Amino acid sequence: MRTGLRASLAVFAVVLALVASSASAAVFTLEDQNSSAIFDMAGDGQIVWVVDGVDQLFEQSFWWRVGSAGAEAPVTGLDVIGSLASDSNPWSDSRADVLGTLYRDPAQRFEIEVSYKLRGGLLGTKTSDLAETIVIRNLSATSLAFNFFQYVDFDLGGLADDDTVWFSNDNTVVQVSEDMMVTETVVTPVAANRQADYIPVLIDLLTDSDPTTLANNNGPLGPGNVAWAFQWTFDLAPGGTFIISKDKLIVPEPTTMALLGCGLFAGLIRRRR
């Protein structure tokens, strides 16, 4: 009897340990109004962005390379110094809506601080905003030839194969499906290179063993399963800091089409019919 109880307790302890280890695995959920977002800060980065019940995102991840040779590596593969989700607007929605994570190079050459702030629209508006700030600091005594990449794969409306993407200028990218639209604006600084492409071209470039320079393919591309990437290239002086600030906005497509009303939209719509 006691042996049986002991065995049961042992199984229970193993289950508890498994639950505890999965809970500590750096996965965070942010929520605000009609929106929620899930981030695996030691895995694939942002993996969910639900707006009014529909997941719009497959993956958003950051990558780095120091020097002109070798492969890119995911920021989430660096050492995680700390990660914290908290509430920045308790007056309107008391759930956690901001997330900050500090990563450090295992060789101690640099650290990267990533911050997200989620703002949802009211229920049913299909509107949501995610602001992102990335701070890269050179901790070493030598200049670092840094390449920083952002990879973004939205599947708008929960469907992968009906999206069209293009860069409307060097600093702004637009992706649309039948009923949803996302724009990303890099507030500062303008990326050196950018590329729109079909899955899995860009993620293959970031995971292969060669140094990547994005092709400045501005699109439009689609309809299909599309993605985009930005590449910032800069020399980071000893003790220097590089700050990237940008914003993603999801809206229902017709509203924005009416607002923008540009020729490219008209051309796309004609082609899609």
Closer residue to Ca ion, CB minimum distance, 136 or 176: 176
The CA distance from 49 to 42, in Å, is: 18
The CA distance from 12 to 16, in Å, is: 6
Closer residue to Ca ion, CB minimum distance, 115 or 225: 225
Closer residue to Ca ion, CB minimum distance, 140 or 213: 213
The CA distance from 91 to 159, in Å, is: 35
Closest approach, Cβ 38 to Ca ion, in A, equals 16
Counts of helices then strands in the chain (DSSP H, E): 4, 18
Closest approach, Cβ 169 to Ca ion, in A, equals 21
The CA distance from 101 to 84, in Å, is: 7
Closer residue to Ca ion, CB minimum distance, 105 or 163: 163
Q: Which residue is nearest to Ca ion (CB)?
A: 212
CB of 77 closer than 8 Å to CB of 68: no
Structural tokens at position 234: 């800069």
Binding site for Ca ion (CB under 5 A): 72, 87, 89, 93, 95, 97, 153, 155, 205, 208, 210, 212, 225
Closest approach, Cβ 204 to Ca ion, in A, equals 8
Closest approach, Cβ 58 to Ca ion, in A, equals 6
Closer residue to Ca ion, CB minimum distance, 44 or 80: 44
Task: Give the chain's end-to-end CA distance (angstroms, integer).
Answer: 73
Closest approach, Cβ 220 to Ca ion, in A, equals 14
